[in-house]
A = this chain, B = another copy of it.
Amino acid sequence: MNEAQGLGESLTEQVAAQLREQVTGGLLTPGQRLSEVRLAADLAISRNTLREVFRLLTREGLLRHEPNRGVFVAVPSMASILDIYRVRRMIELPALAQAWPRHPAVAQMQAAVRLAEDAGQDWRVIGSANMEFHAAIVALTDSPRLMGFFAQVAAELRLAFGLLDSPELLHAPYVGRNAEILSLLQAGRPAEAAAALETYLGESERTVLAAFARLG
């Protein structure tokens, strides 16, 4: 079990990234139970290593661990979505309002906008680019802790998105807004950019909650 080792990264972290992708990408259904023996066999790793991965992703909030019962894909609730958007406001708004318009992360924001604009109808790429845009906003703070925390929360949100029916409606309307926020920031008007982001988040939250309520 040592063929395609990804240079420096331990197997545990590789598999963690892989599983993270599968969970947030919707390949694994929320609530689904993950059998240790079966999943270990599927991933071609040992059960012990898989348990290390489980501990990682459980702390990230993507998996839920019930003692002596197993681990399950976390199932997003209305409360968790409300909480996530609250955290996003608390982090993203000050980050943007206090931003230095020539911060390196602005380039990341621009790259994410371009990526979304050139993505055509591929909502998967659009969604990913959208999240990169907001991660770049948080990167404006130069705070490793905020960036890590946001990445975690963003992963949880992606998990919730995967539960909804029409994902294109959740991302597509916002690529234009991202571009607007970016140009406001580049024009040296961070306060207005933050204001635009606030309405953005409000609408996004409403959309997500509505789509969520439509499921029961």
Q: In the A-B complex, list the 8 residue pairs whose CB atoms are closest, starting with the nearest.
A: A48-B48, A55-B55, A52-B55, A149-B149, A83-B143, A59-B59, A87-B145, A83-B145
A interface residues, Cβ below 8 angstroms from B = 8-10, 12, 48, 51-52, 55-56, 59-61, 67, 83-84, 86-87, 90-91, 94, 141, 143-146, 149, 153
Question: Number of copies of this chain in the oligomer?
Answer: 2
How many Å lie between the Cα of A44 and that of B48 in the bound state?
Answer: 18
How many Å lie between the Cα of A155 and that of B50 in the bound state?
Answer: 27
B52 with A8: CB separation less than 8 A: no
* Chain B residues within an 8 Å CB radius of A8: 67
Kindly provide the distance from the CB of A63 to the nearest chain B CB, expressed in whole angstroms.
Answer: 13
| Contact among B10, B48, B153 for A145, CB-based, below 8 A | B153
* Chain B residues within an 8 Å CB radius of A86: 141, 143
Known: A90-B90, A149-B149. 15 other contacts (CB 8 A): A10-B67, A12-B55, A48-B48, A48-B51, A51-B52, A52-B55, A59-B60, A83-B144, A83-B145, A86-B143, A87-B145, A87-B146, A90-B94, A90-B146, A145-B149
